Amino acid sequence: MRVLLTGGAGFVGLNLAQRLLSSGATVVCFGPVAPVAAASACFACLPGRWVIEPGDVRDAGRIAELIGRHGVTHVVHGAAITAGLEREARQAADIAEVNLVGTLNVLQAARRASLARVIVLGSGAVFGAAGIGPSRLREDEIVPRPESLYGITKQAAESAAVRFRQAHGLDVAVARLGVVFGPWEHDTEVRDTLSLPFLLNRMAQAGETARLGRGIPDDWIHAGEAAEAVTRLLEAASLRHALYHVGSGRRWSLAAWCEQLRRHYPAFTYEIGVDPARVNLGGSAPAARAPLDVTRLRDQTGFVAAHDEASACASYQAWRARMRAGFGDAAAIF
Q: Which pLDDT does position 215 carry in this prediction?
A: 73
Q: Across 57-171, where does the E strand assignment appear?
A: 74-77, 117-123
Task: For residue 79, tell me if it sits in a domain.
Answer: yes
Q: Domain count of the chain?
A: 1
Residue 275 lies in a domain: no
Give the Cα separation of 95 and 102 in Å (integer): 10
Q: Can you give the pLDDT at residue 6?
A: 99
The whole-number average pLDDT for the span 212-237 is 94
pLDDT tens per residue, range 289-326: 999 999 999 999 999 999 999 999 999 999 999 999 99
Q: Judge whether 205 lies within some domain.
A: no
Residue 258 covered by a domain: no
Is pLDDT at 217 greater than 80 in this prediction?
Answer: no
Instruction: Please give the span between the terminal C-alpha atoms of the chain, in angstroms, as a whole number.
Output: 30
Q: How far apart are CA 90 and CA 123, in angstroms?
A: 22
Is residue 97, in this structure, part of any structural domain at all?
yes
For the cut 80, the answer to whether the pLDDT of residue 286 exceeds it is: no
The strand pair at 172-177 and 74-77 is best described as unpaired
pLDDT band with cut points at 50, 70 and 90 for residue 118: very high
Residue type, 299: D
Q: Which residues pair with 245 in a beta bridge?
A: 176
Q: Is residue 57 part of a domain?
A: yes
Among candidate residues 75, 84, 20, 30, the one with its CA nearest the CA of residue 52? 30
Per DSSP, the three-state class of 157 is helix
Q: What is the DSSP string of 242-303?
A: SEEEES-SSPPPHHHHHHHHHHH-TT-EEEES--GGG--SSTTSPPPPPPBP-HHHHHHH--
- Taking the C-alpha atoms of residue 74 and residue 78, their distance in angstroms, rounded to an integer, is 13
Does a structural domain hold residue 179? yes
Range of the domain at 49: 2-193+220-250+291-332
Distances (CA, A) of 132 to 36, 258, 291: 36, 24, 9
As a whole number of angstroms, the distance between CA 4 and CA 2 comes to 7
Q: How many Å apart are CA 57 and CA 59, to the nearest integer?
A: 5
For residues 200 and 280, give the distance between their C-alpha atoms in angstroms, rounded to a whole number: 11
CATH number of the domain encompassing residue 69: 3.40.50.720
Q: CB of 246 within 8 A of CB of 294?
A: yes
Lowest mean pLDDT among 6-20, 102-116, 208-222: 208-222
pTM: 0.96
313 contact partners, CB below 8 Å, separation of at least 6: 257, 260, 261, 263, 264
| Domain membership flag for residue 276 | no
Give me the mean pLDDT over the 110-131 stretch.
Answer: 96
pLDDT of res. 187: 86
pLDDT at residue number 288: 84
Q: What is the largest CA-CA distance in the chain?
A: 57
The answer on pLDDT for 285 being more than 80 is no
Kindly state the percentage of the chain with pLDDT values over 90.
90
Q: What is the mean pLDDT of the chain?
A: 96
